[in-house]
């Protein structure tokens, strides 16, 4: 099977499961925006922001390190040492991170809606279970068990939401009930997965190797700064909106931002999950030229899809917010296109930044991410008091543009990947034409408006791309002929 076909098939499988998970979790989105007040939703976003920033420190780059080391392990014994040591390493890092956070939380307890005991219980269980879940995902990705990875991910994601909402509605009312139900389910799932890997004889406490932990740590440690700084880019605005404004404004902004993150689930996450193991193996077996050619092809396809998604977001964000979160969150619609565009732009890094990982230059990733995280914080401090929640949106756009520029410039000096500039300009032109053609389409029914704009946008844009791209037409005709035989 060709690598492009393998990438397409695995990405399609990722996307299918992402769609299932996103649809199921999206069904919970209107429930949560209705059972929680706007301020409670803002406080929920704050708890999630805390976890998001702590998790990179707790997992210490172990999932990515495991994938990198897996190709070098030839025997089952080596695999057991690798898996056992990585789990032991995460356990050590979690303990250190949680103790440090608990001390900090004691001095900032008045900042949170939960009391300190509730907060530490929720953070402690969630931090450990989500860090280990990320590691287990690394195991499955290393073995290219895409189906198993996605099934477990769906169960973990959807189950926690269902149990959280059920607990909130029937047992313990309010935000704490939802959070407690969520983390209890995640904790049980984590214990079950440890048991599964132990039963398969790939986890053994006696096989934990300190030298292996050091090797994994050496590769993964720079990724702590990268991931944490990346998440500061994503979540620092939550803390600053809470500080400068209030929980209500934070709730509105979080709805807009969270809707934009669904884009990441549909596009950027499947690309990253698929291409990293493939280009790592391609680099080891066929060298630089084949790897760069493969990534250039993937980049062109990504840009085509990303521009389509951004165009669609511009057209339907208002209807989408009202339908998903009710009119009380309507101001969030203005946030969605800015954040979505930023996420899509940054998504190019997962392709163009391959050289950082292949040549073990992850320290550079961390350095650039720290710089942009600091820029993001400074911009938020200046822009939020001046422009309210839109100040946070503007800051997100600026910081991601700077970050993508820095990444791309340096990554090209390590592994040059040709950017399809001409194709990108054509795709953007098609996006503008599509947006202008459908901009004034409004019906009395919100659902009808959203559906018509969505399908019209997809049809018009892809029709223009199909007319422009000869290779796409040739492949489409070939596929149709093969299906007909």
Instruction: Kindly report the average pLDDT of the chain as a whole number.
Output: 84
Distance CA 110, CA 462 (A): 52
pLDDT tens per residue, range 286-311: 888 888 888 988 899 899 999 999 99
First to last CA, the chain: 20
Neighbours of 108 (CB within 10 A): 10
Provide the pLDDT for residue 259: 84
Q: Are 335 and 238 in contact (CB under 8 A)?
A: no
pLDDT tens per residue, range 13-40: 666 666 676 677 667 778 888 888 888 8
Instruction: Quote the DSSP letter at residue 441.
Output: -
pLDDT tens per residue, range 427-436: 999 999 999 9
User: What six digits make up the tokens of 22?
Assistant: 């996103």
Q: Are 237 and 252 in contact (CB under 8 A)?
A: no
Give pTM, 2 decimals.
0.74
Nearest to 393 by CA among 401, 383, 385: 383
pLDDT tens per residue, range 252-285: 998 888 888 877 667 776 777 678 778 887 887 8
Provide the pLDDT for residue 12: 62
Mean pLDDT value across residues 201-227? 80
Provide the pLDDT for residue 63: 82
pLDDT tens per residue, range 53-63: 888 888 887 88
Please tell me the number of Cα atoms within 13 Å of 345 on its side-chain side.
20
pLDDT tens per residue, range 141-157: 777 777 777 788 888 88
Provide the pLDDT for residue 74: 56
User: What six digits make up the tokens of 178?
Assistant: 């939802």
Provide the pLDDT for residue 387: 94
Per-residue b or e along 242-278, where b marks 16 or more CB atoms closer than 10 Å to that residue's CB: bebbebbbbbbbbbbbbbbbbbbbbbbbbbebbbbbb
Q: Are 365 and 356 in contact (CB under 8 A)?
A: yes
Distance CA 331, CA 338 (A): 13
Q: pLDDT-based confidence at 349, cuts 50/70/90?
A: confident
**C-alpha separations of 429 from 78, 156, 300, 335, 425 in Å:** 52, 41, 15, 23, 6
Nearest to 179 by CA among 127, 135, 250, 256: 127
Residue 438 or residue 477, greater confidence: 438
Residue 251 or residue 484, greater confidence: 251
Q: Cα–chain-centroid distance for residue 107?
A: 31
Residue 326 or residue 176, greater confidence: 176
**C-alpha separations of 313 from 8, 175, 302, 344, 476 in Å:** 24, 30, 16, 11, 27
What are the residue boundaries of the structural domains of the chain, listed by start? 3-419
Mean pLDDT value across residues 87-94? 89
Distance CA 302, CA 313 (A): 16
Mean pLDDT value across residues 348-359? 86
DSSP, collapsed to helix, strand or coil, labels residue 36 as: coil
User: What six digits make up the tokens of 123?
Assistant: 């953070």
């Amino acid at each position: 099977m060709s690598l492009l076909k393998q990438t397409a098939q695995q990405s399609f499988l990722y996307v299918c499961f992402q769609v299932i998970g996103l649809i199921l979790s999206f069904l919970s989105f209107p429930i949560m925006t209705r059972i929680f007040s706007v301020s409670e939703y803002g406080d929920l976003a704050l708890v999630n922001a805390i976890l998001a920033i702590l998790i990179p420190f707790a997992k210490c780059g172990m999932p990515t390190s495991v994938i990198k080391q897996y190709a070098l392990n030839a025997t089952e014994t080596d695999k057991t040492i690798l898996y056992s040591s990585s789990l032991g390493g995460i356990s050590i890092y979690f303990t250190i991170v949680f103790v440090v956070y608990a001390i900090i939380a004691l001095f900032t307890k008045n900042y949170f809606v939960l009391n300190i005991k509730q907060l530490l219980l929720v953070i402690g269980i969630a931090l450990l279970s989500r860090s280990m879940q990320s590691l287990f995902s690394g195991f499955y990705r290393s073995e290219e068990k895409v189906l198993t990875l996605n099934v477990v991910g769906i169960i973990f994601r959807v189950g926690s939401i269902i149990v959280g909402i059920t607990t909130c509605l029937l047992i313990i009312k309010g935000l704490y009930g939802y959070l407690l139900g969520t983390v209890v389910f995640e904790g049980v799932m984590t214990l079950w997965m440890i048991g599964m890997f132990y039963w398969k004889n790939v986890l053994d406490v006696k096989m934990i190797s300190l030298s292996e932990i050091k090797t994994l740590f050496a590769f993964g440690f720079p990724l702590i700064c990268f991931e944490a700084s990346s998440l500061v880019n994503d979540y620092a605005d939550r803390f600053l909106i809470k500080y400068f404004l209030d929980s209500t404004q934070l709730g509105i902004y979080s709805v807009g931002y969270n809707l934009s993150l669904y884009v990441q689930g549909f596009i950027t996450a499947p690309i990253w999950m698929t291409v990293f193991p493939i280009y790592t193996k391609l680099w080891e077996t066929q060298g630089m030229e084949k790897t760069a050619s493969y990534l250039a092809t993937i980049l062109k396809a990504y840009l085509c899809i990303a521009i389509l998604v951004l165009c669609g977001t511009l057209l339907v964000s208002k209807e989408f917010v009202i339908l998903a979160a009710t009119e009380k969150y309507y101001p969030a619609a203005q946030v969605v296109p800015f954040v979505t565009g930023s996420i899509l732009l940054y998504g190019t890094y997962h392709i163009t930044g391959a050289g950082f990982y292949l040549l073990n230059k992850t320290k550079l990733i961390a350095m650039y991410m720290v710089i942009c995280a600091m820029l993001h914080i400074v911009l938020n401090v200046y822009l939020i008091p001046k422009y309210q929640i839109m100040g946070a949106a503007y800051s997100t756009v600026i910081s991601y543009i700077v970050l993508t520029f820095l990444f791309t410039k340096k990554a090209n000096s390590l592994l040059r990947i040709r950017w399809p500039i001409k194709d990108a300009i054509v795709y953007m032109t098609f996006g503008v034409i599509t947006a202008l053609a459908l901009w004034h389409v409004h019906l009395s029914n919100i659902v009808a408006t959203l559906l018509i704009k969505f399908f019209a946008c997809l049809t018009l844009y892809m029709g223009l791309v199909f007319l422009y791209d000869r290779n796409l037409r040739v492949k489409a005709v070939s596929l149709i002929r093969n299906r007909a035989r």
